[in-house]
Structures are given as structure tokens and as C-alpha cells.
Amino acid sequence: MQIHKSKNKQDKKKKKVKEFINIGLAGNANVGKSVIFNQLTGLSQTIGNWPGKTVEKMEGHLNSLGYRFNIVDLPGIYSLSTYSLEEIISREYLVSEEVDVIINVIDATNLERNLFFTFQLLELKVPMILAINQMDILRKRNLKLNFERLEEIFKLPVIPVVAVHGTGVYQLLEKAIELVVYHQPTSHYIQDGKKIHEQLSNNDKKVNNDLSIKERFHFPDLSSILKYGKEVETRIYELIKNIDIHLEYFSTFNYPSRFLAIKILENDEEIEKIFKANQKTIYIINLAENYRNELEELHGEDISTIISSEIYTNIHKIIEKVVIVKARGEKKLVWAEKLDHLTTHSFWGYIILILILAGIYFFTFLIGGFFGGLIEDFFEVLSNIIYSIYGEDDLWVKIFWEGGLGGFFGGLSGVLVYVIPFFLIIEFLQDSGYLPRAAYLMDRFMHSLGVHGKTIIPMILGFGCNVPACTGCRIMETEREKKISIALTSLIPCSAVMAVVLGLVGRYVGITWVLILFAINFIVIIITGKILNKILPGQCTELIMEVHQYRIPNYSVILKQTWIRTKEFIFKALPIIIITGFLLEIFFIFRLLDPINFILSPITVYWLGLPAITGIFLIYGILRKELTLVLLALLANSMGTTLLGLLTPLQMIIFSLVSMLYIPCFATIVLIAKETNWKYALQIAGLEIGMALLIGGIINWVFFFI
Amino acid sequence: MESLIKCLIDCLIGEKLKVLRVNAGYHAKRRLANLGIIPGVQIIKKKAAPFRGPIEVIVKGTSLVIGRGLAARIVVLSDNSK
Ligand SMILES: Nc1nc2c(ncn2[C@@H]2O[C@H](COP(=O)(O)OP(=O)(O)O)[C@@H](O)[C@H]2O)c(=O)[nH]1
Ligand SMILES: [Mg+2]
């Protein structure tokens, strides 16, 4: 009895105690954050969104060394300013209660730019570990780093890592525990041959929840490396003094006073809002403005240039101390240079771009078609068995089998089998480093549509499937560009549309018309871009983008990313497909949709010159575009004829064209609404319907009069 | 021998350049400064995209692509003596 009670008590106590450590992985793009993240969390990852924001949040967990680690892979950024939504979200997140330790992943081969971001992170005064990654490449370049010196300078753990081999990755966790347990970095990491986590008793391991780890952490004094020149520093000092007067107010925002001082001096809009929100602190904005003007006058430069220059100067001093050149002469990756030259060539670059787009189709189709066929065969065998048991006319069998399970198998064979190879090839392109080259080639052209070259990246993704591609538009920096990008991407003929066009026009009319249809689609994209560019307020921003050297892609990253994306699709999109399949089957059986054909007939029959039955097919097509063709084929089958007996070549062309353009598929519309708002999603849908009908009708009438 | 002040788009491919000024708006300027395009820094013009497209430069050992409109506002000193 007694024992039981005390155990109960202990259990209660346990709940108050925090044994998990929240880690944020931060760093520039392409430094190896995701590889480290994958190494640590394996397949336990989820993709979510930041609350209220549409920037992807990758989260994963692992249990190790007696702790539960919660790891978040942050977007790759270069600064903690307000250039993109990703930067704002990252800094808010890093200072929030949700992060205990930052692991700053640094590309050893690009120390200067990476340390610029590190310097910004250091100003947040959050417990931090520096993970110097890609040490293997550094060694190949005959360079070495003095890690003891680095730890002396940063007074924080600095760990050499080769993420792709898993070297040093678990040491990062050990260091995280050390920071959490001792509230400061210690140099007595190994005592009596035992590592810290081995020495700790279970009680030591518990971290009290009443005080957050951050607050108890003694952040080292790094003023010697972080301080700016005297002119800047004295003004920051004055600002800090004024901020500290209102510390009670500012402490609710979690930013250190010095960070606030620097940012208000830099004219940071988001930080300014904090100062503006309180009557008593508004004056500091003016103070900062005066200081800013003084400094800009003094240096003859604008404030961000002054501050960035000083940070780079400080970084330079550090680099001189820690980089050791073992031998002269860097080895260059010749093939990577050559490939770069070829893929950005003013002629071959475009040829390769087109080949890659064709390759995406081809690969997605070939693999998807093969497995889709297998699943369909399997479904048919099952169907025959079911029908032979229950009979073909049983209503419930029809609803549940055709509707529910049919939807499920349809989802598998019609969508999932295409989604997987598509993600594979996209992740391959992403990991190899190709996509920014496409942005480089297309920048000029995309400007005429009101966006810069980066938009081409989600658009390329759109060739496989519009749904994840529209999500990809998050990489655009401004809301206006995101909106235009989404609209353009939703017009890209996805692999389902391709199936309709090839299966109908390609098969029965000829390749010329396929090309004409694609040309029309292309023109529609241009018109849409031009229209949106005109009507959306604001201006097109200029491209600023880092381009990385080509690499041999890492297959485990590709496979894992593909799996995560597929998992997301299975859980989020597949249920919708099954449920709607189910409902549609009910509508179909009870002929609830027949009136629709009648209502739509002025458009379908008179304006477009199509048979009335296509009205309902087009409605189905909103769900999944290839359904328009599938249903048409089914109908022809049941009438004992082929598609040729059902539609004239002209009708096929018009039907394909309308299917291609008339509306983004249902899943895409939902996604657009989530990424922007319902009003915009419906506007885009309306615009596309309008254009599809207009062009389809024109073709019909032109041929009518000829 | 010859030193010339030019804007980035007018320079030759492969030229070694020193950044003098960036005459851009607040956001673009801060972004470029963060990425290391600051007065006094050495850059190399690596390529220019066809059809009057963006410019690629090497700064601090990495490649950066800058839209043409912005590149036109970056004033550099080209040092032909080497
Ligand atoms: N050679 C080498 N390549 C690495 C290492 N870490 C990451 N990479 C590669 O760097 C690329 C970018 O890595 P990723 O994790 O996607 O970067 P992220 O943008 O920071 O998430 C991938 O192609 C990786 O395979 C490393 O330690 N050594
Ligand atoms: Mg990543």
C-alpha cells in the first residue's frame, strides 16, 4: 500500500519534470541540416506548418541517452532580418519557449558566409552548438580547422561533423545534454573516462520545468568577437540602456536587449512593431533613427552595409586564426564545373531544361503507368470475385465496393503510383542542385510575368502534380510573388492532364495537335501572368539566390524525403479522394447528377460543341483530371464502341483543351485556399474556367465556319 | 594599368571586381550586404544569363545569382592591371 502510494507520487512528480530537449537545427541553405535531421530522427518525421504561417515545419523525434529529443529542421536562411517570411518565423521560433538548444549547422567549406549567420544567432543568447559539417570535403581541399581554437573563441561546443557518414552527429546530442544539465558549456566533458551522460544519475537528468533551460543558461560573454566598431557600439550601448529601462515590457518578447538594440538601429520593421506597441517605448524608435542617421553620415553608407561590413571584418579575424592550409592548390571538381557550364549555357541550357521536363513526364509515366496497371488488374480480379459472390446488381456492393474501395484503389493506381516516382525525381533534382540553374535561365522570362526566376522551381514541380508544387511556392519572398507563382503553377499541365491529352488527342488525332494544345496552354500561362502582374499591387522583386555546386545526390536523403512526402499525401489527400469517390458513386447510382448535364448543356453542347454527357465528366474531372478520359472510355466501352465512335477529332481536341485548362483540380484548389485564401482560390478557378471556355469555344466556332 | 568604374552588368565575364556601391532599395541592399556584397569586397563576374538575364558572381567563395535590374545598380571598380 505504502509503496504503491509513493510510486504514485513519483509518477506525479515525473510529469512536472522535463526530460525532453527541444532542438532547433538552424543554418544556411544546403549546409546539411536535413541530412543531420534524417540521421537523427530517421523516419519519425512529420511535415506541418508553422502556426498561422505557410512555411513548412519539419519535426522529428528520437529517444537517446535517456532523453527524448524533439528536433525541428528550420528553413535555410542567411540572416535573421526580415527579408523573407522564413527569416521572421525562424527568429521568433528560436527565442520562443519551444527551443532549448540551437544546433547551428555550418558548411566548413563556406565558413565566411555561414559564420555571418552564426553571428546573428549568437546575439539571441540561446544555448547553442556549432556543428561544422562537410568536413570530408574540407579535407579533400587540403584544408584543416583548429577546433580547440574555435571552442576558445566561441566558448561554446564546436563539433566536426560529416553528416552523410553520420560522423559527429550523436556527439551533438551529447553536447546538448551537457548544455542543458550544466547550464553552461563545460570543458570537463569526459571525466574518469566516462562521458557526461554516463555519469548522470536519473535524478540529475531531470530538468526542472519551472525555469526554462534558456533562462538558467549562462551564456558566455562573447563581446570580444561580437562587438562592432566604436561608433556603432557606443550607440548600441545607449539604446540598450533605454531598452533596459522598460525591461519588463521587452522581456515578454524573449529577445535579448542587445538584439533589439541592433535591430531597431537597423530599421527592422518587425522589431519596430514591438517598440511601437507600447506608448512608453516609442521614443526609442526616434532615438535609433537619429543614431542611424549619424552613423550613415559618418560612414557614408547605409546602416545595413555598415553593420554587415563590421560583422564580416570580425569573421575574417576568426577565419585567419582557425583555418589551416595543409597544402597549396585546391582541388576543383572538374565534372561539377563542366556540368554547371553546360546546364547554364545559352543554348544547351535550354535544351537540357526541356529534356529534364520531358524526363519528369517520361519517368513519372513509365513507372506510374506500370504499377498503376498492376494495381488495376488486381482490383479487377478482386471485383470479379466479389461480383461472383454477391451478384453485380447489389446496391450496397456497388456503393461500398465501387465507391469506397474503388476510390481507394483508384487513389492508389491513379495517383499514388505517379506521386512516388514524381517525388523521387524531384528530390533527385533538388539534391543534385539543378533547380537554381533553371531559375537562372528563366529569370528574365519570368520577369515579364511579374515574378522572378525562382518561380520556375514550383512550376517544374507542377509538371508532375500541381498539389505539392503549389506548396513549393512558399519559397517566394513576397505575398504578391507567391500569389502569382501559385496561379502560374496551377496552370501547368500535370501528369494527369498529360494522360488525357495523350490518350485522346495524341492517340486519335495526332501529335501536331498535342503540341498545339501545349502551346495554347503555354500562352494561357503567359496571359495569366501578365494579367496578375497588372492587377496585383506591388512590384516584381529582383532575384538574389545562392547557387551551389553540383553534387552527387545522396540516395538516403532522396528516399527519406520521398517517403515523408508520400506519407503526407497518404494521410492528407488519399482520405479525401476515397470519401469523394464514395459520394460520387452514390450520386451516380441514384442519377443525382443527370440534371447537371442538362444545366450545363448550353455551354457543353452549344458553345463547345460537345455531347451533353461530357458535362458530368467535366464535373468529375475537377476531382481528378484523368477521370474525364477514364469516364469517357468507360462510356464508349458500355456502348460497344471506341472513343472514335463517341467524339469527332474536333470534339476530342476541344474536350482535351477544356480538361487541361478549365480549373485546377479539387486538391489544388483546397491547397491554394490554404496557402492564400478562399477568395483568391476561387478567383483563380474562375479565371481559368473563363479562359478554357473562351478558347474552347473559339476553336469550335472557327472550325464550324470553316 | 587601367582602372574603370562600371556597373556590374557592363563588366566582362571573368573580370575581378571590387564593389564600390550598391544603389538599391533598403531590402535588396540589406540582403546583398548580408550575403557579403559590401563596398570593398572582391567579386568575380562568373556568367551572365542569355537574353539579358541575371548575373552570376563569385563572392566569398560562393556563387550568387543577382537579377539584372539589381546588378545594374551595383557599381564596381574593374581592375584590368592583372
Ligand atoms: N560530402 C558531404 N556532403 C554533405 C554533407 N552533409 C550534407 N551533404 C550534402 O549536402 C547537400 C545538402 O544537404 P541538406 O541536408 O539537404 O542541406 P540543408 O539545405 O541544410 O537541409 C546534400 O546533397 C547532402 O548530400 C557532408 O558532411 N559531406
Ligand atoms: Mg533542408
Tens digits of residue pLDDT in B46-59:
999 988 899 999 99
Orientation of helix A678-705 relative to helix A479-490, angle to 10°? 40
| Residues A344-376: tens digit of each pLDDT | 999 999 999 999 988 887 787 788 778 878 887
What is chain A's length?
706
SS3 call for A672: helix
Interchain contact, A441 vs B52, CB within 8 Å = no
Average pLDDT over residues A257-281: 94
Residue A133: name the closest of A176, A95, A172 by CA: A172
User: What nine digits make up the cell of A117?
Assistant: 549567420
φ, ψ of residue B44 in degrees (nearest 5)? -120, 130
Residues in chain A closer than 8 A to B69 (CB atoms): 542
pLDDT at A5 over 60: no
Please, which residues bridge with residue A56 across strands? Answer: A49
pLDDT, tens digit, 9 for 90 and up, residues A86-117: 888 899 999 988 899 999 999 999 999 999 99
Residue to mutate among B62, B63, B68, B75, with most A CBs inside 10 A, is: B62
How much is the pTM? 0.83
Q: Which residues contact B33 (CB under 8 A, 6 or more apart)?
A: A304, A305, A307, A308, A309, B22
Confidence of residue A581 (pLDDT cuts 50, 70, 90): low
Provide ipTM, 2 decimals. 0.93
pLDDT computed for residue B16 by the predictor: 92
Pocket test for ligand 1, best of A28, A35, A56, A133 (most atoms within 8 A of CB): A35
Helices (H) and strands (E) in chain B, counts: 2, 6
Distances (CA, A) of A490 to A67, A459, A688: 44, 8, 9
pLDDT digits (tens, 9 = 90+) for A154-192: 999 999 999 988 899 999 999 998 888 877 776 544 444
Residues having CB within 6 Å of any atom of ligand 1: A 27, 29-35, 76, 133-134, 136-137, 162-164, 431, 551, 553-554, 557
Kindly tell me if the per-residue pLDDT of A521 is higher than 50: yes
Whether A489 and A462 have beta carbons less than 8 Å apart is answered as yes
pLDDT tens for each residue of chain B, 82 residues long: 456 889 999 999 998 999 999 998 888 999 999 999 999 999 999 999 988 899 999 998 889 999 999 999 999 998 765 4
Q: pLDDT digit string (tens) for A403-418?
A: 667 667 766 666 677 7
Contact A83 B27 (CB under 8 A): yes
pLDDT at A154: 93
Please check the confidence at residue A561 and state whether its pLDDT lies above 50.
Answer: yes
pLDDT of residue A442: 94
Instruction: State mean pLDDT over A552-573.
Output: 78
Share of chain A above pLDDT 90, in %: 41
> If you ran DSSP here, which 8-state letter would residue A51 be given?
T
A683 pLDDT higher than 90:
yes
The residue assigned the cell 550601448 is A237
Candidates A117, A136, A164: which one to mutate for ligand 1, based on the most atoms within 8 Å of Cβ? A164
pLDDT at A492 over 70: yes
Tell me the mean pLDDT in the region A273-296: 94
More confident residue, A344 or A209: A344
pLDDT at A310 > cutoff 60: yes
Per-residue pLDDT at A210 exceeds 50 = no
Amino acid (1-letter code) at residue A696: G
- Tell me how crowded residue A264 is: count the other CB atoms within 10 A of its CB: 25
Distances (CA, A) of A539 to A448, A528, A545, A566: 12, 16, 18, 36
Residue A168: name the closest of A192, A143, A191, A138 by CA.
A138
What 8-state DSSP symbol labels residue A542?
A: P
* All domains in chain A, ordered by first residue: 9-221 (3.40.50.300), 227-321 (1.10.287.1770), 348-539+556-705 (no CATH)
A288 CA from centroid of ligand 1 (Å): 40
Residue from the list B30, B63, B65 with its beta carbon closest to the beta carbon of A543 = B65
Q: Are residues A542 and B34, on separate chains, in Cβ contact within 8 Å?
A: no
**Among A110, A116, A444, whose Cβ lies nearest the Cβ of B61?**
A110
Specify the higher pLDDT residue, A269 or A468.
A269
Answer yes or no: is pLDDT of A12 > 60: no
- Compute the average pLDDT of residues A279-301: 94
Task: Report the DSSP pairing between strands A158-160 and A128-133.
Answer: parallel
Q: How confident is the model at residue A187, as a pLDDT?
A: 56
The nearest CA of chain B is from the CA of A267 a distance in Å of 9
Burial of A51 (0-12, 13-18, 19+ CB in 10 A): exposed
- What average pLDDT does range A502-531 have in this prediction? 89
DSSP H stretches of helix in A401-554: 406-410, 417-432, 435-447, 456-462, 466-472, 479-490, 495-501, 507-508, 511-535
- The pLDDT value recorded for residue A297 is 94
**DSSP letter for each residue of A248-303:** HHHGGG---HHHHHHHHHTT-HHHHHHHHTSGGGHHHHHHHHHHHHHHHHHHTS-H
A317 has a pLDDT exceeding 50:
yes
- Residue A61: closest CA among A74, A50, A71: A71
Ligand index nearest the alpha carbon of residue A36: 1
Choose the weakest-confidence range: A225-234, A293-302, A445-454, A577-586. Answer: A577-586
Half-sphere exposure of A644 (CA within 13 A, CB side): 4
As a whole number of angstroms, the distance between CA A488 and CA A430 comes to: 20
Between A612 and A630, the more confident residue is: A612
Query: What SS3 class is residue A646?
Result: helix
What distances in angstroms separate CA B63 from CA A44, A337, A384, A457, one per listed residue?
Answer: 35, 12, 60, 18
A635: confidence class by pLDDT, cuts 50, 70, 90: confident
Domain-by-domain residue ranges, chain B? 3-79
pLDDT value, residue A554: 80
- Helix A147-154 to helix A303-322 angle (10° resolution) is 140
Nearest to A445 by CA among A520, A514, A518, A525: A525
Measured distance CA(A91)–CA(A97) in Å, rounded: 12
How far apart are alpha carbons A233 and B38 in whole angstroms?
Answer: 20
Residue B32: strand, helix, or coil: helix
pLDDT at A259: 96
Q: What is the pLDDT of residues A116-160, one digit of tens each?
A: 999 999 999 999 999 999 999 899 888 899 999 999 999 999 999
* pLDDT greater than 50 at residue A10: no
Q: How many CB atoms lie within 10 A of CB B50?
A: 14
pLDDT higher than 50, residue A28 = yes
Question: What is the pLDDT of chain A when averaged over all its residues?
Answer: 84
Mean pLDDT, chain B, whole residue set: 89
Determine the CATH number of domain B3-79: 2.30.30.90
Q: Going by C-beta distance under 8 Å and a sequence separation of 6 or more, which residues neighbour residue A119?
A: A225, A226, A311, A314, A315
Task: Provide the shortest C-alpha distance from residue A80 to chain B (in Å).
Answer: 10
Contact A685/A669 with Cβ under 8 angstroms? yes
Q: Which residues of A touch B47 (CB under 8 A)?
A: 344
